[in-house]
Amino acid sequence: MEAPQKNLALDLVRVTEAAALASARWLGKGNQDAGDQAAVDAMRLCFNSLNISGVVVIGEGEKDNAPMLFNGEKVGAGNGPALDVAVDPVEGTKLLAYGRPNAISVIGVAPAGTMYNPGPSFYMQKLVVPGAAKNVVDLDAPVAENLHKIAKALDKDVDDLVVFVLDKPRHASLIEQVRAAGARIQLHTDGDVSGALMAVDPRSEVDVMMGTGGTPEGVLAACAIKGIGGEMFARLDPQSYVEKEAILEAGIDLREIHTVDTLVRSDEVFFSATGISGGTFLKGVQYTGTGAVTHSMVIRGRTGTLRYIESINNWDKLMKISSVKYD
């Protein structure tokens, strides 16, 4: 037996809360870069207060020139454990800009050198299932076969299942196959980290996530899934000739199937997500006039502990010490 060690997720939640509080001011205002920039700035300031030596290995924004915490950027006070950092200040910038649900702020960390480096890959095919179904599915199996096996593992009928799919042209055939199998579908315009988390969150009505989404988002989601106990099967799925050639030139095998254990090669993983725009996954930021309320989930991989945190912020006190002007 070991004495309890520090749960970094309880420090990381302060960072995702700060990003959510700052970016939620841009809800529905149509300016996705401004909302993203507010979250990035808040995150950078809050990271500086953490006793870690972090390096961003998964930073969002490179493929669309958005504001970002860039790959290779050092975060933290520099006097703590050496960590790989995966971060998306606003996962779902369009969701935030247009006032749609399920925009979140997300961070995952693990010991240095343990996170998968996607190189020039932007997209990967994913199949995410709860722990009870992780040994019955195959990424290359027909959709209907996987759905029937998932239903049996979860002690459900196929028509009980809810499948999270991104509403993209590339998924037209997938959607037809899911419907033909008899399962129900939740179509979302963006937010595949949220979709992956819904598939393994015991409180969610989503049973499985299918389809192609972002590679950085896949690594981020793996940080959480590793702690909760579900599984992700994934394979790089380039969406352009340029992306495919860049991956091949980097010597990366497009046939390799990844799991959470290859995407994050340590149990010492920590994860935090805070809701920004609200929705079926995490409630969004609620401004009260004198403060704000946030809702977060935090996960420690080694113990498998999943916490849901509601934080009530008071502007009068917070603004006396905070460098971020939330009000």
In the chain, how long is the greatest CA-to-CA distance?
58
Confidence at residue 3, expressed as pLDDT on a 0 to 100 scale: 46
Confidence at residue 71, expressed as pLDDT on a 0 to 100 scale: 85
202 assigned binding-site residue: no
300 assigned binding-site residue: no
Q: Which of 46, 89, 51, 93 is nearest to 70 (CA)?
A: 89
The residue assigned the tokens 């991956």 is 247
Q: Which of 299, 112, 286 is nearest to 196 (CA)?
A: 299
36 assigned binding-site residue: yes
Beta strands in 142-207 (DSSP E): 162-166, 184-188
Confidence at residue 149, expressed as pLDDT on a 0 to 100 scale: 98
170 assigned binding-site residue: yes
Q: Are 199 and 209 in contact (CB under 8 A)?
A: yes
88 assigned binding-site residue: yes
91 assigned binding-site residue: yes
Confidence at residue 27, expressed as pLDDT on a 0 to 100 scale: 96
217 assigned binding-site residue: yes
Segments of the chain with pLDDT less than 70: 1-5, 60-68, 326-327
283 assigned binding-site residue: no
pTM over 0.85? The answer is: yes
Confidence at residue 221, expressed as pLDDT on a 0 to 100 scale: 96
201 assigned binding-site residue: no
Show the domains of the chain with their CATH numbers.
8-115+268-319 (3.30.540.10), 123-263 (3.40.190.90)
Q: Are strands 231-236 and 123-129 parallel, antiparallel or unpaired?
A: antiparallel
- 51 phi/psi in degrees, rounded to 5: -85, 70
214 assigned binding-site residue: yes
Q: From CA 95, how far away is CA 101, in angstroms rounded?
A: 6
- 271 phi/psi in degrees, rounded to 5: -145, 145
326 assigned binding-site residue: no
